[in-house]
Amino acid sequence: MLDFDTAQSLLLQAAPAADTVETVGLHQAPGRVLAQDIRAVFDSPPADNSAMDGYAVRHAALDTHTRYAIQQRCFAGEAPQALQPGKVIRLYTGSVMPDGADTVIMQEDAREDGDVVQFTSLPAKGSHIRFRGEDVRGDSLLLPRGTHLGAGEIALLASQGLARLPVFPALRIGVLTTGDELVAPGQPREDHQIYNSNGPMLAALAQDMGVSHVRIAHAADKLGDIVDAFKALLVDCDLILSVGGVSVGDKDLVKPAIESLGATIDLWKVNMKPGRPVALARLDDTPIVCLPGNPVSAFVVFGLLVSPLIRRMQGSKTPLPPVAYGRLRTMRRVGGPREDFIRVQIRNTPDGQAELIPHADQGSAIINSLSWADGLARIPPDSQVIDGDTVAVYPFAHWLRA
């Protein structure tokens, strides 16, 4: 029996971290991971500029009695003149500060009359200026290798004028579902059949992690079909996830199928609920992770054990997202011999401590709990957790994202 943390770190090592570099345009970059450190190219903003619509002035030469001549109206994108003594320059948010000016007076504190202006109050010297380099210093480390590129990172890279970025290759994932009882959604179904929910679910989980290449295959519970499906997925996938058929029942043919392809397979009994069994194999350098067939088990194993491996293969420098903590709200003692991961809603409370509300039905076939929950609370093995106890929680917002 493997404990949960050991299983998680073993699975994290199941494939080498990404190391090939390719170059993509800024617009192709969201969801990808930086393959090199990116240094700033220049100070940003590149010049002192106004944070307000107002007037550029020399602070020392200023009072509220004088009417000052407006020397220039300088819009954002225009070059300012050097400020002449006794005058001011009208400017707008983003206008570059003129030489000789050190302060901006906002237009709300000014009365403009034709080409002259009088100020009603004076701000402190240096007010309302965004200074050169206050956002980014030229040649500082902008973003390190291994950074997952989301909107904030794209904005930062774009602000430095970077149009082509070194990233790791996009990960390609294959999903193999198995089971004679399964019918694809959209097809007619007999009473003894159920719809294949794991296939679309795992594809969606992979897509939520920024994986756009997901190939789905389904095989009946026949050795030859499973072997053929694995062979087809091996052609263009970097990681294969199979689901179901990996226990020790008569129809559990995934293990023999992988073995007949010449690979060894480690079947793990992970001491977690829901979860076991989980298996790991490698075929021609491609890792294959075999997930349990129950939809909730497959979801939980993906989120807690497979997602770190995916992040590592994508090149992320932080394959293990943060774990949070909260107070469990429960009517009964919870905890058993296995590590329990229970589906909870995470509620924020005014005192700043999260409360974790368990779903009423923690069965591993209760698919409706997956859309209801927003995290998995961790109940250590052999513990007796009661209402109000603080436990670890794995928020989907972190664990099911890139």
Which residues of the shown chain bind ligand AMP in the complex (CB under 6 A)? 177, 179, 181-182, 194, 196-199, 243-245, 247, 292-295
287 or 293: whose CB is closer to Mg ion? Answer: 293
179 or 287: whose CB is closer to Mg ion? Answer: 179
Question: Is the C-alpha dihedral spanning 208, 211, 213, 214 positive or negative?
Answer: negative
Site track for Mg ion across 231-270, x = CB under 5 A: -------------xx-------------------------
Give the number of other CB atoms < 10 A from CB of residue 85: 7
d(CA 356, CA 370): 15
Residue 245 CB, shortest distance to Mg ion, in Å, is 4
d(CA 153, CA 29): 10
177 or 314: whose CB is closer to ligand AMP? Answer: 177
Residue 42 CB, shortest distance to Mg ion, in Å, is 59
Binder of residue 169, out of ligand AMP, Mg ion, none (CB less than 5 to 8 A by kind): none
User: Is-contact 320 12, C-beta < 8 A?
Assistant: yes
Residue 147 CB, shortest distance to ligand AMP, in Å, is 34
- Binding residues among 316-345 for Mg ion as defined by CB under 5 A: none
Binder of residue 8, out of ligand AMP, Mg ion, none (CB less than 5 to 8 A by kind): none
Residue 364 CB, shortest distance to ligand AMP, in Å, is 8
- Binding residues for Mg ion, rule CB under 5 A, total 3
d(CA 310, CA 240): 11
d(CA 248, CA 284): 25
199 or 358: whose CB is closer to ligand AMP? Answer: 199
Residue 269 CB, shortest distance to ligand AMP, in Å, is 14
Q: Which residues pair with 217 in a beta bridge?
A: 176
Please report whether residue 179 would count as binding Mg ion according to CB under 5 A.
yes
**Which one, of 160, 152, 166, 55, lies nearest residue 112 by Cα?**
55
If DSSP codes are grouped into helix, strand and coil, which group holds residue 132? coil
Binder of residue 243, out of Mg ion, ligand AMP, none (CB less than 5 to 8 A by kind): ligand AMP
Binder of residue 316, out of Mg ion, ligand AMP, none (CB less than 5 to 8 A by kind): none
Binder of residue 294, out of Mg ion, ligand AMP, none (CB less than 5 to 8 A by kind): ligand AMP
d(CA 270, CA 3): 6
Binder of residue 49, out of ligand AMP, Mg ion, none (CB less than 5 to 8 A by kind): none
DSSP for 268-289, written as a single string: E-BSEETT--EEEEEETTEEEE
**Which one, of 197, 283, 293, lies nearest residue 248 by Cα?**
293
226 or 357: whose CB is closer to ligand AMP? Answer: 226
72 or 369: whose CB is closer to ligand AMP? Answer: 369
User: Is-contact 276 292, C-beta < 8 A?
Assistant: yes
SS (H, E, C) 342-358: EEEEEEECCCCCEEEEE
Binder of residue 80, out of Mg ion, ligand AMP, none (CB less than 5 to 8 A by kind): none
* Residue whose beta carbon is closest to ligand AMP: 293
d(CA 391, CA 380): 9
Residue 373 CB, shortest distance to ligand AMP, in Å, is 18
Residue 45 CB, shortest distance to Mg ion, in Å, is 60
DSSP for 29-93, written as a single string: -TT-BBSS-EE--S-BSSS-EESSSEEEE-GGG--SSPPEEEEEEE-TTSPPPPPPTTEEEEE-T
Binder of residue 198, out of ligand AMP, Mg ion, none (CB less than 5 to 8 A by kind): ligand AMP
40 or 270: whose CB is closer to ligand AMP? Answer: 270
Could you tell me where the beta strands, DSSP code E, fall in 220-338? 239-243, 265-268, 272-273, 278-283, 286-291, 324-328
Residue 254 CB, shortest distance to ligand AMP, in Å, is 8
Residue 178 CB, shortest distance to Mg ion, in Å, is 6
d(CA 338, CA 377): 14
Residues near Mg ion, by CB under 5 A: 179, 244-245
